[in-house]
A and B are shown apart, each in its own frame.
Chain A
Amino acid sequence: MAWRDSRSNRRKLFLYMAAIIVGVAAQVAITSFRENLNQSINDQAKELLGADLEFERSAPLHPEVQDYIDSIAADQSTALGFASMAYFPSTGTTRLSQITALEGAFPYFGTLETDPVQAASQFQQTNGALVEEPILIQFGLEVGDSVKIGRSTYPIVGALIDVPGQPAAAGFFGPRIYIPKQTIEETGLLQRGSRLEYRTFVQLQPNLDLEIIEERLRELKRTRDFDYDTVEERKEDIGQAITSLSNFLNLIGFVALLLGGIGVASSIFVYIRQKIRTIAVLRCIGASSNQALAIFLVQAFAMGLTGSVMGATLGSVIQLFLPTLVSDFIPVDIDLFLSWTSIGVGIATGVIVSVLFGLFPLLAVKQISPLFTLRSIGIQFGQLLSRTNKVTLVALVSAFITAYAWLMLNDWRPAVFFTIGLYICIGILWLFARVIMWGSRRFAPAGWSYEWRQGLANLYRPNNQTSTLLLTFGLGVTLISSLYLTQDMLLGTIQLGDQDNLPNLALFDIQYDQNDGVNAVLEQNGIKPLQNVPIVTMRLGSINGQRTTQILADTNRTARRWALNREYRSSYRDSLASTERLSEGEWIGSFTYSGTEVVPVSVSEDLMDDLAISVGDTLTWDVQGIPIQSYVASTRLVEWDQPSPNFFVIFPVGVLEPAPQFFATTLNTPNREASIALQQQIVQAYPNVSAIDIGQVIDTIRSFIDKITFVIQFIGLFSIATGLIVLAGSAVSSRYQRVRESVLLRTLGAVRHQVMKIQVIEYVLLGCMAALTGLVLSVGTSYLLGYFFFDIVFTPNVLILATEAAILILLVLLIGSINVRGIHHRTPLEILRSES
């Protein structure tokens, strides 16, 4: 009977199923892709590190650690990593690059992929350089050209394509260049103050117990400061990152599926309403209420199952394209295969969502009386469901959503928050819908033309589409728009424009004896530095007399590890910079120091929190071997997002001048050409000085954020797609009524343009309301994100909002127009004929 009954409606049912198809497709695509990724990581685990063990430190390893490494290593390679300007003489271009000076046979697992292939194994013998491929293409360079790093010039022997364990995105913030380590001294870049990273890659002797090794390493780490990574740890770290990302994407995809569920519920609702007579007739001829329910339950189940299977197929196809979206961030080559677990879970979820959401209208079927065969009266489905039924269904749906979120997040607390958040979101959207309906009823101006009043009134009249549209479309719009606005907010904070008082170029690592020379070059170019600040590196020795090592060992400490451990780059000056203001204590700009006094320093507010200290506390600094006692005289609120050198700790003038130091200079060049010319001059005269082209950094950050948000938006688009399908479904459901209405209006004397105008007005208003709701909510979300998460005052970008609104209104109008197509070709007589 269920099959026979569905015969006349299968085309319509397909549209309802489409919502489930899209929802399940999103699920299956993401979970399958995650399975693929995890499998690939497992398969290529050792290639994630390129070695069995990797050690890292900002100075050479302690001899005790090195001795231990020697005792367990079958082979080892060492590398020095640092940032430096690379100058390409053949094109005269420069670029701040990530240099790795390598010695040894690294990688032991996987390959250093180069073009030509042999370059990877030969660059060390031939004293050549491997330069990352994109920069070669960008600067029009070829193998055979040269690159100057520091004082040394290297022939480019190959293009660097892939490094084991490093995603392509590793080169986003500066191209990677590999040079032989034996040439590093000649570059002249190993000076005091240079930020160097010493890395050792170890291939273990066979048959060693990794657990025993790790135990020893943990022990050594407690006394000898260094970091190490094992294949397992790296795998876990990457696996964790991927799980977090895919869980996040999965939840966004799940929202699409839930919207699909709402779509199924609303379409079954409309479908059942059309079937009331059928149900009543069935009841008349003796069908029990359970039989009546079963007929439609079977249809909902079949719809869910068919939609889910189709969705799973579509999802499996989509997963083939996902690697191209995220390959830049993934450090392994992704092997693609069908994940039957994901397909199974996807189909099960789709069916459960269809049946569970379908139960809301379906349970009402049981209450449909045979009397409806005799009388046509309005039915309020909501009133047909008993309170117990409603509460049970809501509890079931909530439990299902929470359980699914828990499955994704492996933690019940965020799962519950997810469910509550979703309900709040839906509640707000529902509230918006009610307000719009109430508002259009209450404030419809009497002076408006009939078409306007009718179009507006269609927003609240029986069978209106306002709630459905706002719930389904609004959620997707909120999601996507929040992403756009947040992206814009983040980019806005680094947007500098062409203001003369803001720097667009920063020079750093200027050695003490180079500072005057660099300033002279600037003067020759007619450029006045905006800032020229000295920088002294130091470490924190103790706080209030307690050594940092002791504090670190204390499990109850409140100070944060990074703040106790890091190398501080501090400066000294007699006044506050424009990017900071005093928040507590007294600013002391100069001090007479003879080597024993306790020096007043100013500490940034955030560091005060992270070190868990207050004004007046004493800090002992290890300034490159010399201890300096200080106390916190003042705290400062620093605008870290400004492109100027900012410091955690500022010393007064008169203390650090004799210490080894280097300088950083910020300047504003009149244009990009002048900036490039200046960089070339500086790099050639002072090869160790690095230049950060701030415009280029902004471009890089923008492209990085663009790539990340694109991935999220891609999944978020599934929600929009589901919203559109649900809207189309709801529109199709009302098509019969709309055709009938417009023919009636024409019978009563309405001309064609009047009928069209009413329809256009209704859909434009619907589009406006959906856009307004989604955009208001997304502005709210972005404001809250900015306030609580990014600490940025959010100003909505009107252009983005207007563009989004225009697109949304057009989409809704398009769906509405497709729905009422052909209405105007029917003669009024048809209504008479169809009824007589």
Chain B
Amino acid sequence: MPFNIITKKDNVHTILEVRDLVRVFQSGSKTLTVVNHANFEIEKGNSCAIVGPSGSGKTTLLGLCAGLDQPTSGQVILNDTDLTTLSEDERAQIRNRDVGFVFQTFQLIPTLTALENVMVPLELRGEATKTVRERAVSLLNEVGLGDRTHHYPTQLSGGEQQRVAIARAFINEPKILFADEPTGNLDTETGETIERLIFDLNEKQGTTLVVVTHDLELADKCDRIIRIKNGHIETAEVTI
């Protein structure tokens, strides 16, 4: 493995470490610092909510933590690997192996059926189709969509699409799950079902959970809350 492995004795329980992270965007002549010298750590198996007002830099921070974007400066160490030293393809391999995603707008591939959407992460690894299919069907059953496996995303309701997205996020048994406003597009009842599913699977698989949300009730269910405003981390508190 060519990745830059960081081994630190006191880091054994840390899955994600953000060090002095900065992300600057250039908009014409204007420079916009969306993430400004952020520092925090998240321990394995924990759940953490990132909260803040619109435009505070939550999604950008999530993207940087998940290796979807490169910071202007600073480090993101995910599962002992410094993502900032890796190429996009190398980060893609890390995402495929260790990371799961759930998005506010579901982000299913519209040309694939529910089952096929769930299978994609493992299929990209080249794993045997039959095993992957069995696992995908079992996950879809777990999220209550056993009878909708061959439906395309447009044939599913919002809540159903998000459940497919959750099944997809967990198929590679990720070490860490990033969720961006997972209930933002759903009604309260469906939102609660989705929350329950995420937390259940999180607990069952021992996955670390990082959730970006406006929903303080959802944030309160997490072990930790990181508050961000204008790119600055204001507090990193532990909920009781």
Chain A interface (Cβ < 8 Å from any Cβ of B): 376-378, 446-447, 449-450, 453, 457-458, 461-464, 737, 741, 744-754, 827-829, 831-833, 835-836
Contact = CB atoms under 8 A, between A and B. Distances in A.
Contacts of A835: 103-105, 107
Contacts of A748: 95-96, 101, 120-121, 124, 168
A229 B103 CA distance: 84
Nearest to B54: A836
A745 B123 CA distance: 11
B107 A462 contact: no
A378 B154 contact: yes
A836 B109 contact: no
A829 B111 contact: no
Contacts of B116: 457
Contact of B63 (A376, A447, A829): A829
A446 B112 contact: no
B38 to A, nearest CB: 16
Given A462-B110, A836-B59, A749 B126 contact: no
B92 A741 contact: no
A745 B111 CA distance: 12
11 contacts: A378-B154, A450-B120, A457-B111, A458-B111, A745-B124, A747-B68, A747-B107, A752-B88, A832-B62, A835-B107, A836-B181
B217 interface: no
Contact of A751 (B62, B93, B101): B93
Contacts of B105: 835
Contact of B152 (A378, A446, A750, A753): A378
A600 B103 CA distance: 96
Given A378-B155, A836-B104, 16 more contacts: A376-B154, A378-B154, A450-B126, A453-B123, A462-B110, A463-B110, A737-B111, A745-B124, A746-B92, A749-B124, A752-B88, A753-B89, A828-B63, A828-B68, A829-B60, A832-B68
Given A458-B111, A751-B89, A828-B68, A745 B120 contact: yes
Given A378-B155, A828-B68, A829-B69, A749 B95 contact: yes
A505 B101 CA distance: 80
A446 B105 CA distance: 31
B68 A827 contact: yes
- Residue among A376, A737, A741, A832 with most chain B CB within 10 A: A832
B69 A827 contact: yes
Contacts of B95: 747-749
A227 B95 CA distance: 89
A447 B120 CA distance: 15
A835 to B, nearest CB: 4
Contacts of A833: 59-60, 63
B204 interface: no
A828 B172 CA distance: 19
Contacts of B123: 450, 453
A224 to B, nearest CB: 80
Nearest to A836: B59
Nearest to A737: B110
Contacts of A836: 59, 104, 180-181
A749 B112 CA distance: 17
Closest 7 CB pairs of A and B: A749-B96, A378-B154, A829-B69, A829-B63, A461-B111, A450-B123, A828-B68
A745 B168 CA distance: 12
Nearest to B119: A450
Contact of B154 (A377, A464, A831): A377
Interface in B111-169: 111-112, 116, 120-121, 123-126, 129-130, 152, 154-155, 168
Given A377-B154, A737-B110, A752 B126 contact: no
A444 to B, nearest CB: 10
A463 B181 CA distance: 29
Contacts of B107: 744, 747, 831, 835
A741 B111 contact: yes
B68 A829 contact: yes
B44 interface: no
Contacts of A453: 123
B103 A832 contact: yes
Contact of A828 (B59, B69, B94, B155): B69
B92 A751 contact: yes
- Residue among A741, A750, A827 with most chain B CB within 10 A: A750
B159 to A, nearest CB: 12
Contacts of A749: 92-97, 99, 121, 124-125, 172
Contacts of A747: 68, 95, 101, 107
Contacts of A449: 126
